Amino acid sequence: MSEVARRIALGLAYDGSGFAGWQSQASGDTLQDALERALAAIAGIEIRVVAAGRTDAGVHAAAQVVHFDTGVARPESAWVRGVNSHLPSQIAVQWVTTVDAGFHARFSATARCYRYVLMNHPVRPALVSRHAGWFHRALDVAAMRDAGALLVGQHDYSSFRSSECQAKSPVRTIERLDIAQRGPWIFIDITANAFLHHMVRNIVGSLIHIGKGAESVAWMGDLLAQRDRRRAPPTMSAAGLYLTGVRYPQTWQLPAFAPASPCLFME
Protein backbone atom coordinates (compact mmCIF):
# COMPACT_ATOMS: atom_id res chain seq x y z
CA MET A 1 0.00 0.00 0.00
CA SER A 2 1.27 3.51 -0.79
CA GLU A 3 0.06 7.02 -0.11
CA VAL A 4 1.12 10.64 -0.57
CA ALA A 5 4.77 11.06 0.34
CA ARG A 6 5.41 11.81 4.00
CA ARG A 7 8.53 13.03 5.75
CA ILE A 8 9.73 10.74 8.51
CA ALA A 9 12.29 11.60 11.18
CA LEU A 10 14.29 8.80 12.70
CA GLY A 11 16.59 8.64 15.72
CA LEU A 12 19.71 6.53 15.37
CA ALA A 13 22.55 5.30 17.58
CA TYR A 14 25.67 3.60 16.30
CA ASP A 15 29.17 2.37 17.01
CA GLY A 16 31.16 3.95 14.20
CA SER A 17 34.19 1.67 14.43
CA GLY A 18 34.46 -0.52 11.36
CA PHE A 19 32.52 1.89 9.14
CA ALA A 20 33.94 4.38 6.64
CA GLY A 21 32.06 7.25 8.26
CA TRP A 22 28.49 8.41 7.71
CA GLN A 23 28.45 9.70 4.12
CA SER A 24 27.50 7.22 1.41
CA GLN A 25 30.38 5.94 -0.74
CA ALA A 26 30.70 3.72 -3.78
CA SER A 27 32.18 1.01 -1.54
CA GLY A 28 28.87 0.77 0.32
CA ASP A 29 30.59 0.39 3.71
CA THR A 30 29.29 3.54 5.41
CA LEU A 31 26.60 4.02 8.04
CA GLN A 32 24.32 5.81 5.56
CA ASP A 33 24.66 2.92 3.12
CA ALA A 34 23.76 0.36 5.80
CA LEU A 35 20.73 2.36 6.95
CA GLU A 36 19.43 2.96 3.43
CA ARG A 37 19.72 -0.73 2.60
CA ALA A 38 17.73 -1.62 5.72
CA LEU A 39 15.05 0.99 5.00
CA ALA A 40 14.75 -0.26 1.41
CA ALA A 41 14.23 -3.81 2.68
CA ILE A 42 11.18 -2.62 4.63
CA ALA A 43 9.87 -0.11 2.07
CA GLY A 44 10.45 -2.26 -0.98
CA ILE A 45 11.88 0.76 -2.79
CA GLU A 46 15.04 2.86 -2.60
CA ILE A 47 15.16 5.28 0.35
CA ARG A 48 17.57 8.20 0.67
CA VAL A 49 18.25 9.78 4.05
CA VAL A 50 19.61 13.12 5.26
CA ALA A 51 21.48 13.29 8.57
CA ALA A 52 21.89 16.06 11.12
CA GLY A 53 25.66 15.54 11.07
CA ARG A 54 28.02 13.57 8.84
CA THR A 55 30.30 11.83 11.32
CA ASP A 56 33.76 10.66 10.26
CA ALA A 57 35.10 7.11 10.12
CA GLY A 58 35.35 5.66 13.62
CA VAL A 59 33.12 8.32 15.23
CA HIS A 60 30.10 7.14 17.22
CA ALA A 61 26.61 8.54 17.82
CA ALA A 62 24.25 8.23 20.75
CA ALA A 63 21.70 10.60 19.20
CA GLN A 64 21.93 11.00 15.42
CA VAL A 65 18.81 12.32 13.67
CA VAL A 66 17.91 11.64 10.04
CA HIS A 67 14.90 12.22 7.82
CA PHE A 68 13.59 10.64 4.64
CA ASP A 69 10.57 11.00 2.37
CA THR A 70 8.45 8.08 1.29
CA GLY A 71 5.02 7.33 -0.12
CA VAL A 72 5.15 3.82 1.34
CA ALA A 73 2.89 3.32 4.34
CA ARG A 74 4.33 1.21 7.14
CA PRO A 75 3.54 1.08 10.87
CA GLU A 76 6.07 2.76 13.15
CA SER A 77 7.09 -0.66 14.46
CA ALA A 78 8.26 -1.60 10.96
CA TRP A 79 10.45 1.51 10.71
CA VAL A 80 12.01 0.67 14.10
CA ARG A 81 12.08 -3.06 14.84
CA GLY A 82 11.76 -4.07 11.19
CA VAL A 83 14.60 -1.83 10.05
CA ASN A 84 16.72 -2.92 13.02
CA SER A 85 16.35 -6.53 11.94
CA HIS A 86 18.14 -5.62 8.71
CA LEU A 87 20.90 -3.53 10.33
CA PRO A 88 24.29 -4.65 11.63
CA SER A 89 24.37 -4.99 15.42
CA GLN A 90 26.44 -1.78 15.72
CA ILE A 91 23.54 0.35 14.41
CA ALA A 92 20.07 0.67 15.92
CA VAL A 93 17.04 2.83 15.19
CA GLN A 94 15.85 4.32 18.49
CA TRP A 95 12.60 5.99 17.47
CA VAL A 96 10.62 7.21 14.48
CA THR A 97 7.99 9.90 13.98
CA THR A 98 6.19 11.56 11.08
CA VAL A 99 7.07 15.25 10.73
CA ASP A 100 5.91 18.17 8.63
CA ALA A 101 7.57 18.55 5.23
CA GLY A 102 9.29 21.69 6.53
CA PHE A 103 11.47 19.67 8.90
CA HIS A 104 15.05 19.07 7.80
CA ALA A 105 17.40 16.93 9.91
CA ARG A 106 20.37 19.15 9.09
CA PHE A 107 19.02 22.63 8.47
CA SER A 108 16.32 22.65 11.17
CA ALA A 109 18.91 21.86 13.85
CA THR A 110 20.03 24.78 16.01
CA ALA A 111 22.93 23.05 17.77
CA ARG A 112 24.95 19.84 17.90
CA CYS A 113 26.54 18.33 20.98
CA TYR A 114 29.66 16.17 20.96
CA ARG A 115 31.50 14.39 23.75
CA TYR A 116 35.10 13.27 23.61
CA VAL A 117 35.92 10.43 26.00
CA LEU A 118 39.60 10.38 26.94
CA MET A 119 41.40 7.81 29.08
CA ASN A 120 44.28 9.48 30.92
CA HIS A 121 46.39 6.61 32.19
CA PRO A 122 50.00 5.40 31.73
CA VAL A 123 48.85 2.14 30.13
CA ARG A 124 46.75 2.08 26.95
CA PRO A 125 43.24 0.61 27.17
CA ALA A 126 42.26 -2.71 25.61
CA LEU A 127 38.52 -3.25 26.06
CA VAL A 128 37.64 0.32 25.04
CA SER A 129 40.37 0.89 22.47
CA ARG A 130 37.75 1.63 19.78
CA HIS A 131 35.56 3.72 22.09
CA ALA A 132 37.91 6.15 23.83
CA GLY A 133 40.91 8.27 23.12
CA TRP A 134 44.03 7.79 25.25
CA PHE A 135 46.86 9.90 26.57
CA HIS A 136 49.58 8.45 28.78
CA ARG A 137 50.95 11.47 30.69
CA ALA A 138 49.12 13.13 33.59
CA LEU A 139 47.03 16.11 32.44
CA ASP A 140 46.25 19.39 34.20
CA VAL A 141 42.47 19.39 33.77
CA ALA A 142 42.07 22.81 35.42
CA ALA A 143 44.36 24.36 32.80
CA MET A 144 42.43 22.56 30.07
CA ARG A 145 39.17 24.05 31.38
CA ASP A 146 40.64 27.56 31.40
CA ALA A 147 41.92 27.11 27.85
CA GLY A 148 38.61 25.72 26.66
CA ALA A 149 36.81 28.79 27.98
CA LEU A 150 38.79 30.91 25.50
CA LEU A 151 37.11 29.06 22.62
CA VAL A 152 33.53 29.79 23.69
CA GLY A 153 31.67 32.33 21.55
CA GLN A 154 31.57 33.14 17.86
CA HIS A 155 34.99 32.81 16.24
CA ASP A 156 36.86 31.87 13.10
CA TYR A 157 38.02 28.33 13.94
CA SER A 158 40.43 27.90 11.03
CA SER A 159 43.14 26.70 13.43
CA PHE A 160 40.98 23.65 14.17
CA ARG A 161 39.77 23.01 10.65
CA SER A 162 40.80 20.02 8.53
CA SER A 163 42.45 20.75 5.19
CA GLU A 164 39.65 18.64 3.67
CA CYS A 165 36.88 20.77 5.20
CA GLN A 166 34.35 21.92 2.59
CA ALA A 167 32.47 24.44 4.75
CA LYS A 168 32.01 27.82 3.07
CA SER A 169 32.87 29.70 6.26
CA PRO A 170 35.14 28.80 9.21
CA VAL A 171 33.02 30.90 11.58
CA ARG A 172 31.04 28.94 14.17
CA THR A 173 29.58 29.60 17.61
CA ILE A 174 30.54 27.39 20.54
CA GLU A 175 27.90 27.73 23.25
CA ARG A 176 29.64 25.65 25.89
CA LEU A 177 32.81 23.67 26.40
CA ASP A 178 32.82 21.65 29.63
CA ILE A 179 35.49 19.29 30.93
CA ALA A 180 34.85 16.77 33.70
CA GLN A 181 37.10 14.12 35.20
CA ARG A 182 36.16 10.89 36.93
CA GLY A 183 39.20 8.86 37.88
CA PRO A 184 41.24 8.22 34.73
CA TRP A 185 38.37 9.33 32.49
CA ILE A 186 38.18 12.86 31.09
CA PHE A 187 34.97 13.96 29.36
CA ILE A 188 35.09 16.95 27.02
CA ASP A 189 31.62 18.18 26.02
CA ILE A 190 31.23 20.79 23.28
CA THR A 191 27.99 22.31 22.03
CA ALA A 192 27.98 24.55 18.94
CA ASN A 193 25.61 25.67 16.23
CA ALA A 194 27.69 23.61 13.79
CA PHE A 195 31.18 22.14 13.49
CA LEU A 196 33.97 22.19 10.94
CA HIS A 197 35.59 18.98 9.70
CA HIS A 198 37.73 17.49 12.53
CA MET A 199 37.02 20.57 14.66
CA VAL A 200 36.28 18.73 17.91
CA ARG A 201 39.19 16.31 17.57
CA ASN A 202 41.57 19.17 16.79
CA ILE A 203 40.34 21.17 19.79
CA VAL A 204 40.85 18.11 22.01
CA GLY A 205 44.39 17.72 20.70
CA SER A 206 45.14 21.35 21.58
CA LEU A 207 43.60 21.01 25.05
CA ILE A 208 45.80 17.97 25.71
CA HIS A 209 48.84 19.96 24.52
CA ILE A 210 48.09 22.52 27.23
CA GLY A 211 47.14 19.88 29.80
CA LYS A 212 50.53 18.15 29.50
CA GLY A 213 52.31 21.48 30.05
CA ALA A 214 53.64 22.02 26.53
CA GLU A 215 51.93 25.42 26.27
CA SER A 216 50.26 27.94 28.55
CA VAL A 217 46.54 28.56 28.78
CA ALA A 218 47.02 31.85 26.90
CA TRP A 219 48.46 29.92 23.96
CA MET A 220 44.95 28.70 23.12
CA GLY A 221 43.81 32.27 22.52
CA ASP A 222 46.86 32.93 20.36
CA LEU A 223 46.24 29.76 18.35
CA LEU A 224 42.61 30.74 17.78
CA ALA A 225 43.66 34.22 16.61
CA GLN A 226 46.32 32.88 14.23
CA ARG A 227 43.71 30.97 12.19
CA ASP A 228 46.40 28.56 11.03
CA ARG A 229 45.88 24.80 11.35
CA ARG A 230 49.61 24.20 10.83
CA ARG A 231 50.32 25.69 14.27
CA ALA A 232 48.02 23.29 16.11
CA PRO A 233 48.84 19.81 17.48
CA PRO A 234 47.83 16.59 15.68
CA THR A 235 44.21 15.48 15.37
CA MET A 236 43.08 13.14 18.15
CA SER A 237 41.75 9.66 17.43
CA ALA A 238 38.16 9.32 16.23
CA ALA A 239 37.59 6.48 18.71
CA GLY A 240 36.72 8.80 21.59
CA LEU A 241 34.24 11.03 19.77
CA TYR A 242 30.45 10.74 20.17
CA LEU A 243 27.59 12.76 18.71
CA THR A 244 25.50 13.01 21.89
CA GLY A 245 22.69 15.30 20.84
CA VAL A 246 21.11 17.46 18.16
CA ARG A 247 18.92 20.36 19.28
CA TYR A 248 15.79 21.41 17.42
CA PRO A 249 13.08 23.98 18.16
CA GLN A 250 10.39 22.59 20.46
CA THR A 251 7.82 22.94 17.70
CA TRP A 252 9.09 19.71 16.13
CA GLN A 253 8.48 17.67 19.31
CA LEU A 254 10.88 14.90 18.41
CA PRO A 255 10.97 11.85 20.72
CA ALA A 256 13.67 11.54 23.37
CA PHE A 257 16.57 9.14 23.01
CA ALA A 258 17.08 6.31 25.46
CA PRO A 259 19.96 6.77 27.95
CA ALA A 260 23.29 5.79 26.41
CA SER A 261 25.37 5.50 29.58
CA PRO A 262 27.13 2.22 28.68
CA CYS A 263 28.61 3.92 25.60
CA LEU A 264 29.53 7.11 27.45
CA PHE A 265 31.06 5.60 30.59
CA MET A 266 28.75 6.28 33.51
CA GLU A 267 27.17 9.54 32.33
61 and 162 part of one domain: no
User: What range does the domain containing 18 cover?
Assistant: 2-108
> Could you tell me which residues come within 8 angstroms of residue 188 by beta carbon, excluding any fewer than 6 positions away?
115, 116, 118, 144, 148, 177, 178, 179, 203, 204, 207
Give DSSP secondary structure letters for 63-122.
EEEEEEEEEE---HHIIIIIHHTTS-TTEEEEEEEEE-TT--TTTT--EEEEEEEEEESS
**Mean pLDDT within 242-264:** 84
Per the annotation, the verdict on 189 as an active-site residue is no
Helix (H) or strand (E) holding 191: strand 185-192
pLDDT, one tens digit per residue, over 199-247 is 999 999 999 999 999 999 999 999 999 999 999 999 999 999 999 999 9
CATH of the domain at 177: 3.30.70.660
41 and 54 together in one domain: yes
Task: Pick the catalytic residue from 56, 100, 178, 222.
Answer: 56
Same domain, 93 and 135: no
pLDDT tens per residue across span 61-84: 999 999 999 999 999 999 999 999
Segment 83-121, tens digit of pLDDT: 999 999 999 999 999 999 999 999 999 999 999 999 999
Residue-wise pLDDT for 157-206, tens only, equals 999 999 888 899 999 999 999 999 999 999 999 999 999 999 999 999 99
Q: Where are the alpha helices (DSSP H) in the chain?
A: 31-43, 76-77, 83-84, 141-149, 199-211, 218-226, 261-264
Q: How confident is the model at residue 28 (pLDDT cuts 50, 70, 90)?
A: confident
Which residue, of 108, 133, 148, is where some domain finishes? 108
What local confidence, expressed as pLDDT, does residue 1 receive? Answer: 44
Based on the fold, state whether residues 29 and 144 are members of the same structural domain.
no
